[in-house]
Each structure stands twice: as structure tokens, then as C-alpha cells.
Amino acid sequence: MFRNILIPTDGSPLATLAVDAGIAFAKEIGAKITVFTVIEPFHLVSIDAEQLAKTREQYEALSDVHAAEILSATRAKAETAGVPCRTDQTRTHDIYRAVIGKAEEIGADLIVMSSHGRGGFGALVIGSVAAKVLTHSTIPVLVYRQK
């Protein structure tokens, strides 16, 4: 049923668990995967410590290196498992739209992603990428949640 899976990740511990689960699932069903990361652009006004401590150039260079490390590590895991894997990254503020757009672009028939489980005020103020993908995607979404 599922042959082409998109796995978005930000490299966080929970997202890494979702990546690992997605790779295992893809192996079990004989699917290929695309692992995708979205880098948020530098903000002049930010509460993100990474952005406050660095210039735009430093932030962009470090975020590119971080994304490459995430994708490389994930590609290695997929190769070890024998799962065909492509990787890609983009830079945008609209993370959920980038995820859905990538899924549509590659013809994915499933999106496997994590949810950090923000609820209440945190979800209202910060928003949830997973919730937005679930709300707007026409492609099935499997959400890996923290236990």
C-alpha cells in the first residue's frame, strides 16, 4: 500500500525516534523513503538562543551544517537497514507547507513525522507543525508521539 514515504525531521531526539520508526516500517513493507529537513531562516527578532547569539551569516552556515549532519546520519541508518533513501532540505518559515509540498513533489503516499505533544496554550501560541500537516495534507500522516 505505501511505497514512497516522506519523513520530515528537525534532528531532535523525538524526531530521531520517528525517523528510526519510519525506516523500520519502510523496511518491513518494502518502501523507499525521502528524509526532509526544513531550516528556519534567520529572524531579526527571535527568542531562539541559536539566533540571538549569532549573526545571520553564522546562523545560516551553522544551520546548513546541522541539516547536512541530520540528513547524513539518517541516510546511513537507512542504508544499513537496506532501505532506499533520498534526502533533501529547504529554508522557509512555513514548515508545514514545505513538508506537504515536498510530499506532493515526490509523490509520497505517506508522511511519517513526530509530534512534540504541545497542547493547550503552547500549541495555541507556538502552533504544532504536525497538527498543521494533519489538517492540511491530503496524504495520510502517521504521527509518532512521545510516550
Residue 8, H or E segment: strand 4-8
CATH code (residue 116): 3.40.50.620
Residue 117's pLDDT band, with cuts at 50, 70 and 90, is: low
HSE toward the beta carbon, residue 17, CA cutoff 13 A: 10
Residue 125 has a pLDDT of: 44
Query: What does the pLDDT look like over 132-146, one tens digit per residue?
Result: 999 999 999 999 987
**What is the average pLDDT value for the chain, to the nearest integer?**
87
**Domains held by the chain: number:** 1
Let me know: does 91 contact 55? Beta carbons within 8 Å.
no
Among candidate residues 58, 2, 44, the one with its CA nearest the CA of residue 27: 2
3 state DSSP class of 90: strand
Residue 89 has pLDDT above 70, yes or no: yes
Predicted structure pTM score: 0.86
Query: What is the extent of the structural domain holding 130?
Result: 4-145
Q: Exposed (0-12), middle (13-18) or buried (19+): which is 15, by Cβ within 10 Å?
A: buried
